[in-house]
Amino acid sequence: MPTTAQTDIVKSTIPVLRQHGETLTRHFYARLFAHHPEVRHYFNPAHQRSGGQQRALAGAILAYAQHIDDPAALADAIEVIAQKHASLTIQPEHYPIVGEHLLASIREVLGDAATDEVLDAWAAAYGELARVFIERERTIYAEQREHQGWAGFKPFTIVRRERESDNIVSLYLVPADGSEPPAHLPGQYVSIRVQDADGHTAMRNYSLSNAPGAAAYRISVKREAGDGEAPGGDVSNRIHDDLAQGDRIELSPPCGAFTLELPESADKPLVFIAGGIGATPLVSMAHAALHASPSQPVIFIQAVRHGGLRPFTRELETLASRHPNFSLHVCLSEPGEADGAGDSGIKRGELEPADLERWIGGWGATYYFCGPLPMMSRIDRMLETRGVAAGDRRYECFGPAQPLAA
């Protein structure tokens, strides 16, 4: 536990962290992987190449320094990270490794500014944060064993493949030991562990897109094809090109803090706004909400570039036909000639505030949204401007968590 003096020292480093945070975290990851290449498979290389992982860690370190004397302000962020760690089976012995290279990076990047007092203060602060994570993750593992029947990775069999759109395929998965998959909370994800094209172990998180309690888990994976500047996704391309019915992959138990909470009032609408592959946790939530209440207004809005990229079309349209309290709307930002022709439920254009006013009949709703970061930032600003409380604006970032205001 850092002393009061050490807490003050950590807070005094806030200006330098603002200025050099990403330089520090880039150095940290390079140093960590050079000394411990065995931990590389815990990290998505695409996020390393894009800089997203480094930016997220820099933001987390800065936030910790800013709130080191107010731990309650960090509770939500800690839970998100602890759930992600548990999905990847991070263990207590990993924390000293990270601490060693983080402190070494502080010394090497900050130079003379990294005095012994600064390093001692950050060592104490990191030790306390590691203790918090280790305790929370130990609890998560115990809960998984008690309620879900396993912790760590377990073999699952692919029993079905289904194309959802031009760039998304779903895999239906059941435990290889013949047991039934335990029901997940709507919005949770699993980690899968496979061999990539080079034979290396790779782990990735994918939201469960099926209704909770279904006979099989369903993950729906977008092909990350890459372009001239960004390489394609190693695992997503493996799933699309190589994995077939009957193959086995390993799954860790469902994790995640982005889960559905039904409003206390059955009259308060639930609004799900999905951008592309961001529909995956929201489809699961929509199933759960409709199962829980026949009267709760549920509004599902999909935003995609064109109809060929729209996932779960038939499934969502079936829900709309079966549930009077469910309404479905689609926005196509780059529609083809035939997209939406004569269909009043499809808008040819971006989602705008006037659309929400028309479809929701006001702003007194709880909003769940997921999709590309720029889209979520725009939605969040739109809702905030209209007076929607922060507690009614709930979102999830795929990949390293980043603040929408960044």
Kindly state the helix (H) or strand (E) to which residue 61 belongs, with its residue range.
helix 52-66
Q: What is the pLDDT of residue 378?
A: 93
Is 357 in the active site?
no
Give me the amino acid identity at 257: A
Percent of the chain scoring above 90 in pLDDT = 74
Q: What is the pLDDT of residue 361?
A: 81
Average confidence (pLDDT) over 90-101: 96
Is 137 in the active site?
yes
Closest CA to 402 of 37, 57, 1, 45: 57
> Which pTM does this prediction carry?
0.92
Average pLDDT over the chain, rounded to an integer: 91
Domains of the chain by start residue, with CATH: 4-148 (1.10.490.10), 154-251 (2.40.30.10), 270-396 (3.40.50.80)
Task: Reply yes or no on whether the pLDDT at 196 is more than 50.
Answer: yes
Which residues face 309 on adjacent strands?
none
pLDDT digits (tens, 9 = 90+) for 108-154: 998 888 999 999 999 999 999 999 999 999 999 999 999 999 999 99
Determine which one of 64, 126, 137, 217 is catalytic.
137
CA dihedral for 62, 67, 73, 75, sign (positive or negative): positive
Q: What is the pLDDT of residue 325?
A: 95
Cβ pair 17, 24 in contact under 8 A: yes
291 band by pLDDT with thresholds 50, 70 and 90: very high
Detail the DSSP E strand segments found in 281-336.
298-304, 326-332
Residue 332, C-beta contacts closer than 8 angstroms, at least 6 positions apart: 304, 305, 306, 307, 310, 339, 340, 346, 347, 348, 349
Determine which one of 95, 189, 367, 395 is catalytic.
95
Supply the Cα-derived Rg of the chain in whole angstroms: 22
pLDDT digits (tens, 9 = 90+) for 332-369: 988 887 776 556 678 888 999 999 999 998 778 999 99
